[in-house]
Amino acid sequence: MKSDSIQTTICQERKKDPIEMFHSGQLVKICAPMVRYSKLAFRTLVRRYSCDLCYTPMIVAADFVRSVKARDSEFTTNQGDCPLIVQFAANDARLLSDAARIVCPYANGIDINCGCPQRWAMAEGYGACLINKPELVQDMVKQVRNQVENPRFSVSIKIRIHDDLTRTVDFCRKAEATGVNWITVHGRTVEERHQPPHYDAIKIIKENMSIPVIANGDIRSLKEAENVWQTTGTDGVMVARGLLANPAMFAGFEETPLKCIWDWVDIALELGTPFMCFHQHLMYMMEKITSRQEKRIFNALSSTSAVLDYLTDHYGI
């Protein structure tokens, strides 16, 4: 948590309570937690284009609690960065509750990552392995509830599904009974990567829950988001790669508009975004609007000034 931001980061928009959003009957449009990408600058951009709720990248709770350096590098926010959910990877209830207490003044809630399928995460006891440890998840939720005094501070989970969907429904019911505010379901199993998401499974989970359920997986346009929302009967949709490719997606744009690209430049420069992140986001955004030759040239640029010159020469300001 950057010290220069801390004095102005208390969330001023508590009226934008995510729990209330999910009970509005409207589609809630959510930016997913994305390692390296869903940081403050990108969250600021997508909020300009009809994104209702943003998640931080996944943060390892143990490192966050024990290291000031980790806090400074992993979590930066400001007054406009609201509503905000901080996602943690955790396997220890005490460490997670300590992390939640640290971020409580600066966010609307925390999310426990129970869906990351990467081997390193599962080897550490984080991510998708937690869908097979309902008692541990329940303990973590209870500890956060006990340690954070703000009753409006949400605790949610993001999961993948089991091969046997009855196990997923049982896991979700246990989480709900412990006080989880909502559940985001990525419609794939741990082993699945590029197969189509099982939206039918998300629908069944939603039908078995009283709390809000969010659909996640392979949503690339506002029209797709609306279709998934209606098909599954869920309370919102969460998007990752679709927003990377088109941060204006939730505003109805089929591809990234030039204004969005220049908005990104302005935001990134103002917030001091490192060049690699600044450049990588532009590569994603411009994927559909550049030729193969243009990509070769643009992707090889190695400085902010070179990128700005290229954009000015090719797209104007």
Q: Is 122 annotated as a binding residue?
A: no
Beta carbons within 8 Å of 47's beta carbon, 6+ residues apart: 54, 80, 81
CA gap 249, 258 in Å, rounded? 13
Is 116 in the active site?
A: yes
- Let me know if 208 is exposed, middle or buried by CB neighbors in 10 A (0-12, 13-18, 19+): middle
Tell me the chain's radius of gyration from C-alpha atoms. Answer: 19
Instruction: Look at the alpha carbons of 273, 154, 121, 67 in this order and tell me if their dihedral is positive or negative.
Output: positive
Q: Is 240 annotated as a binding residue?
A: yes
CA gap 126, 115 in Å, rounded? 9
- From 31, 114, 116, 129, the catalytic residue: 116
In Å, the largest CA–CA distance within the chain is 58
Q: Is 87 annotated as a binding residue?
A: yes
Q: Is 201 annotated as a binding residue?
A: no
CA gap 73, 56 in Å, rounded? 12
- Nearest Cα neighbor of 38 from 63, 11, 59 is 59
Distance of CA 313 to the CA centre of its chain: 34
- What residue has token string 């988001």? 225
Q: Is 196 annotated as a binding residue?
A: no
- Nearest Cα neighbor of 107 from 212, 222, 13 is 13
Q: Which residues are catalytic?
A: 116
**Which residues are documented as binding site for FMN?**
33-35, 87, 186, 240-241
**Which residues are documented as binding site?**
33-35, 87, 186, 240-241
